């Protein structure tokens, strides 16, 4: 009996270990208490420092990263902003926005607008940055035409090893970017892209399922609901996902 004086169903002879009912009850008890890891912890996997939740590691004001998004690097994830977000200068004001539950592999690079050179004139050389009189006559409007805006990565996106994301690109929810891809244009939700320049190889699901997945937006559920429905989230039955409580 438990402290309430009632039989504990996990300790009664009818559901001793080895019976299917025992494991069903065990899973239900376990799932009711699941809350997932703390999304603000820097290194969520003990003895595995190469993986880090970026929300707790990145403090740059123009980088926004959602809960549970991680970076995996054998050199450690702590220098993600310095190593992986390039040419991100505060005076430009562009933002890198990465959603929740994204997986970012070693060496992925986000190239920001500061890397762009003016291309409307005869020369692309940035004379003005070297000073000594070369800054005279510089027309900021000429260069500002090359700005592409914020770079936005959706939720549940997988970015492969050494992929490069160029300025102003938007990558939709659930997309997969293959290793060493160079992403120059927007990527639709649940697309798989590869190559230089990256092209859509295939869609992960049919159009109707993708619309339902985006509408379900499981990544915005409370973490307790996510924890209760991991099988539905990892499965491939959209009706089960939509019925999750």
Under the banding of pLDDT at 50, 70 and 90, the label for residue 17 is: very low
91-105 pLDDT, tens digit per residue, is 888 999 999 999 999
Residue 12 has pLDDT above 60, yes or no: no
- Among candidates 199, 222, 212, which has minimal Cα distance to 242? 212
188-198 pLDDT, tens digit per residue, is 999 999 999 99
pLDDT at 214: 98
Under the banding of pLDDT at 50, 70 and 90, the label for residue 4 is: very low
105-134 pLDDT, tens digit per residue, is 999 999 999 888 888 788 888 887 888 888
20-76 pLDDT, tens digit per residue, is 565 555 455 555 557 788 888 889 888 888 999 999 999 998 999 999 999 999 999
Residue 165 has pLDDT above 60, yes or no: yes
164: Cβ contacts below 8 Å, ≥ 6 apart: 108, 109, 111, 181, 182, 183
For the annotated catalytic residues, the residue numbers are 117
Per domain, the residue ranges of the chain are 42-120+128-204, 206-244
pLDDT at 10: 36
Write the CA distances from 27 to 11, 22, 31, 227, 245, integer angstroms: 14, 9, 6, 12, 16
The helix/strand/coil state of 27 is: helix
For the domain spanning 42-120+128-204, the CATH number is 2.160.10.10
The pair of structure tokens assigned to 71 is 């970076």
CB 106 within 8 A of CB 73: yes
């Amino acid at each position: 009996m438990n402290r309430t004086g009632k039989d504990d169903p996990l300790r009664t002879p009818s559901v001793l270990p080895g019976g299917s009912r025992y494991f069903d009850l065990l899973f239900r008890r376990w799932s009711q208490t699941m809350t997932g890891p703390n999304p603000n912890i820097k290194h969520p996997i003990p003895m595995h420092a190469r993986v880090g939740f970026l929300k707790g590691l990145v403090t740059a004001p123009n980088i926004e990263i959602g809960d549970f998004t991680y970076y995996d690097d054998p050199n450690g994830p702590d220098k993600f902003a310095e190593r992986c977000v390039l040419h991100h200068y505060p005076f430009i004001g562009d933002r890198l926005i990465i959603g929740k539950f994204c997986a970012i592999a070693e060496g992925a690079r986000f190239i920001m607008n500061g890397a762009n050179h003016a291309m409307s004139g005869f020369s692309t050389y940035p004379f003005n940055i070297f000073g000594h009189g070369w800054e005279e006559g510089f027309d900021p409007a000429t260069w500002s035409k090359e700005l592409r805006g914020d770079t936005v990565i959706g939720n549940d996106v997988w970015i492969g090893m050494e992929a490069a994301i160029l300025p102003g690109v938007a990558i939709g929810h659930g997309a997969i970017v293959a290793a060493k891809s160079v992403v120059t244009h927007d990527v639709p939700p649940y697309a798989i892209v590869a190559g230089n320049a990256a092209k859509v190889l295939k869609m992960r699901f049919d159009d109707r399922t993708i619309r339902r997945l985006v509408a379900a937006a499981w990544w915005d559920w409370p973490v307790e609901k996510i924890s209760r429905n991991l099988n539905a989230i990892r499965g491939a039955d959209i009706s089960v996902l939509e019925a999750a409580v």
